Chain A
Amino acid sequence: MSHQRVVYMDNNATSQTAPEVVAAMLPFFGELYGNPSSMHNFGGKVAARVNQAREQVAALLGASPEEIIFTSCGTESDNTALTSALASQPDKRHILTTRVEHPAVLNTCQNLASQGYDVTFLKVDRLGNLDLTALAEAIREDTALVSVMWANNETGVIFPVEEIAEICAAKGVLFHTDAVQAVGKVPINLNRTAISMLALSGHKLHAPKGIGVLYVKKGTPFVPFLKGGHQEHGRRAGTENVPYIIGLGKAAELARKRLQDENSRVRGLRDRLEKGLLKAIDASMVNGDPDRRLPNTSSISFEYVEGESILLHLSDLGICASSGSACTSGSLEPSHVLRAMGVPFTAAHGSIRFSLSYYNSEADVDYVLAHLPGIIDKLRTISPFWAKYKQAACATPGYVEP
């Protein structure tokens, strides 16, 4: 299949590695192959560049360089945060988290629960928001950690993590946030928050796959996940993945510069796409609180059609998006996030997530707006539920044919 073009709107899944990042990494696959731990100048030069990358990441997060631990991915960072909180406070056996976390946290918590730890999964409302009073009340004497994502990967809904961190701090409980989707999209200044730990992933912000960070606030008790050598000040063993660390440093520098663009131009593209689709397509709705969302994410449901079918038609046109439908979630049920929010099945199965980035253009939005309404039309002609819906809708007083 030859595509006329590729319109990539699946940046919450992974993002294009920025050309500047690739260029920054290349020398470290070549002549600069030294080990940063070595006691010679050849390795020492590399160590200096690793430290520079650490400073770049710290600057993006508003943190101090010594609070940054490089890991292999966001999942490792989340696993480390959860297990460290339990290992460093052996008398505390309770974890408080939400039902809409990424599997990196959700499944790890379920695994901890099966090992005998006590885990509370907080619910969210129809818009995907948490009840902070309920959260505060769920914190117990033996709560080792509260873990709440900064922004949801499927809907883009932003949680008030700074406020949650304050609640936890007031009760003397550690707070971790999976900020994989938030970093580079919302302003973050960790020095001014009570957040104890934060996970980020490189490939969501135009660095390559295979590099992540765990931020650990000064003074937070910590037990390493990977044990071995003294790398990362003894907090994460294993020889540093130097080229990727350099790449992430560069990506962090770019993200810092582009944060304004993300929140103005990219947000504008997302809004135009969303409004255009809602207007052109009957029985469509946005999932997640429209007032508390990442600037790049839109989860839209098209009722009475199924997500995988939509994605394959889009894919034939070179448009890349994702879906929370059963057929695409790798299980037989629709996404746990949409179910937790109580999105009706009619809408959950037909949900499509568009996630934009710095690299999207007005032309990309035009292209999707030109093609998606036709795809939904075609699939609805095939769907046995659409005709029934139309009959019912037409019989409703006040219904106007769109």
Chain B
Amino acid sequence: MWEYTDKVKQYFSNPLNVGEIPDADGVGEVGSLACGDALKLTFKLDQDGRIADAKFQTFGCASAIASSSALTELIKGKTLEEAEKITNRDIAEFLGGLPKEKMHCSVMGEEALAAAIRNYRGLEPLPQAEGEVVCQCFGVTDKEIQKVAADNDLHTVEEITNYTKAGGGCGECHDKIQAILDQLWSVTPKVVPPKPAPAKKPLTNIQKMKLIEQTLEREVRPALKADGGDIELIDIDGDQVLVSLRGRCSSCQASAATLGQFVQSKLREFVSDELKVQEVKP
């Protein structure tokens, strides 16, 4: 039996916002009966462009229903720009965590939200519109795997299966998934140079700047250079770290999100958990 948190149980037993908004502004449908779970999200905006109401219909297990209900609670009252920032991790955190094998339920929530927002903007639904299907059993594309892996720092095929279901059927795509992961994380240096001293005490501004520079130099730049790119530190404003990506990195749209995540995760690891990386266009 799965170990669900009380919050998952609560949102499963008595889900909030069940239903369908008849004259919805955005409709997002993901999943299918064959896959074993599916979610239909509808939302309505108020005159200020905030999500006034959100409803869901879900076919799936307890964590799928709870994740869907959590999603509707998370997006209510937000502008679409704010809502877009919600990730599967936010959904999982809202519920006090999900069993790792069930993380795909939170990913389904994030995807339904993206689809509903795209629908509002008159765009084709993702991810089927883009990318190449890697997992035939569950219809998961390479783009989807790349995004979920980058967003959630996933490194193994098993983790990808837990988050996207890809590879959870016949298993024939395991090598392809591994290849995607290898490519994605090849920017990470395999041999980690000696780590800068862990920052436990609060840092002075100068210490923080130095440590950020040091980390970028040791942990980030070699990886980017190996890929024909570079990074420049523009400014540090409180916990905001402004960087500019140069060379091949700056023109590569697909990897922008990945790079931002990568740089931020390194800075958080070595400097401070509060840091946020923002890219500045040169």
Distance A333 CA – B168 CA, assembled complex (angstroms)? 8
Which of B12, B33, B58, B137 meets A349, CB within 8 Å?
B33
Which of A132-140, A219-227, A302-310 binds B?
A302-310
Say whether A384 contacts B34, CB under 8 Å: no
> In this complex, what residue of B is CB-closest to A312?
B62
Interface string of A327-352 (1 = CB under 8 A from B): 11001111000000000011001000
In this assembly, does A80 line the interface, its C-beta being within 8 Å of a C-beta of chain B?
Answer: no
Contact A383 B57 (CB under 8 A): yes
Which stretch from B35-43, B197-205, B258-266 is at the chain A interface? B35-43
The answer to whether A326 has its CB under 8 Å from any CB of chain B is yes
The residue of chain B having its C-beta at the shortest distance from the C-beta of A1 within the complex is B9
Contact status A346-B33, CB under 8 Å: yes
**Contact present for B168 and A384 (CB under 8 Å):** no
| CB closest chain-A residue, reference B137 | A333
Assuming the A-B contacts A333-B168, A349-B33, are A305 and B161 also in contact, with contact meaning beta carbons closer than 8 angstroms in the complex?
Answer: no
Instruction: Type the 1/0 row for B266-277, where 1 means its CB is closer than 8 Å to any CB of A.
Output: 000000000000
- Decide: B169 and A333 in contact? CB cutoff 8 A: yes
CB–CB B59/A308 < 8 A: no
| Residue of A307, A309, A334 with most partner-chain B CB within 10 A | A309
Shortest CB-to-CB span from B249 to chain A, Å, is 36
- The secondary-structure label for the interface of chain B is mixed
Q: In the complex, which residues of chain A have a beta carbon less than 8 angstroms from the beta carbon of B57?
A: 382-384, 387
**Minimum C-beta distance from A387 to chain B (A):** 8
Residue of B nearest to A308 (CB): B61
Is residue B15 within 8 Å, beta carbon to beta carbon, of the partner chain? yes
Give residues of chain A (368-383) contacting chain B, Cβ–Cβ below 8 Å: 381-383
Contact with A along B1-36 (1 / 0, CB 8 A): 010000001001101001010000000010001101
Kindly list chain B residues whose C-beta atoms are within 8 Å of the C-beta of A333: 36, 137, 168-169
Asked if residues B12 and A309 are in contact (CB atoms below 8 Å), the reply is yes
Q: Are B36 and A326 in contact (CB under 8 A)?
A: yes
Assuming the A-B contacts A309-B12, A345-B34, A349-B33, are A332 and B161 also in contact, with contact meaning beta carbons closer than 8 angstroms in the complex?
yes
How many angstroms between the C-alpha atoms of A332 and B163 in the bound complex? Answer: 11
CB distance from A315 to the nearest CB of B (A): 8
Q: Which residues of B contact A334 (CB under 8 A)?
A: 36
Per-position binary interface string of chain A over residues 386-398, scored 1 when its CB falls under 8 Å from any chain B CB and 0 otherwise: 0100000000000
Contact yes or no, A325 B36, CB < 8 A: yes
Contact of A312 with B12 in the complex, beta carbons under 8 Å: yes
- Mostly, the A contact residues are helix
Is B185 part of the binding interface, using a Cβ–Cβ cutoff of 8 Å?
Answer: no
CA distance A313 to B18 in the complex (A): 17
State in angstroms the CA–CA spacing of A288 and B197 once bound together: 65
In the assembled complex, how far is the CB of residue A328 from the closest CB belonging to chain B, in whole angstroms? 8
Q: Which residues of B contact A381 (CB under 8 A)?
A: 18
CA distance A304 to B33 in the complex (A): 8
Chain B residues 56 to 99 lying within 8 A of chain A, measured CB to CB, are: 57-62, 64-65
Q: Does B44 contact A (CB under 8 A)?
A: no
Point out the residues of chain B lying under 8 angstroms from A383, CB to CB. Answer: 57-59
Among A305, A306, A332, the residue within 8 A (CB) of B165 is A332
> Can you name the residue of chain A whose Cβ is closest to the Cβ of B19?
A381
Which of A312, A313, A316, A327 is in CB contact (< 8 Å) with B36?
A327
Which residue in B2, B58, B138 is a CB contact (below 8 Å) of A384?
A: B58
Closest 6 A/B residue pairs (Cβ): A332-B168, A384-B57, A327-B61, A308-B61, A326-B36, A384-B40
A-contacting residues of B (Cβ < 8 Å)? 2, 9, 12-13, 15, 18, 20, 29, 33-34, 36-40, 57-62, 64-65, 137-138, 161, 165, 168-169
Given A325-B61, A332-B169, list of 20 further CB < 8 A pairs?
A304-B33, A306-B64, A308-B61, A309-B12, A309-B60, A309-B61, A309-B62, A312-B62, A313-B13, A332-B138, A332-B161, A332-B168, A333-B36, A333-B169, A345-B36, A382-B58, A383-B57, A384-B29, A384-B39, A385-B59
Q: List 25 A-B contacts (CB under 8 A).
A: A304-B59, A305-B59, A306-B60, A308-B62, A309-B65, A316-B13, A325-B61, A326-B36, A327-B36, A332-B165, A332-B168, A332-B169, A333-B168, A333-B169, A345-B36, A349-B33, A349-B36, A349-B59, A382-B57, A383-B58, A383-B59, A384-B20, A385-B33, A385-B38, A385-B59
Chain A interface residues (CB < 8 Å from chain B): 304-309, 312-313, 316, 325-328, 331-334, 345-346, 349, 381-385, 387
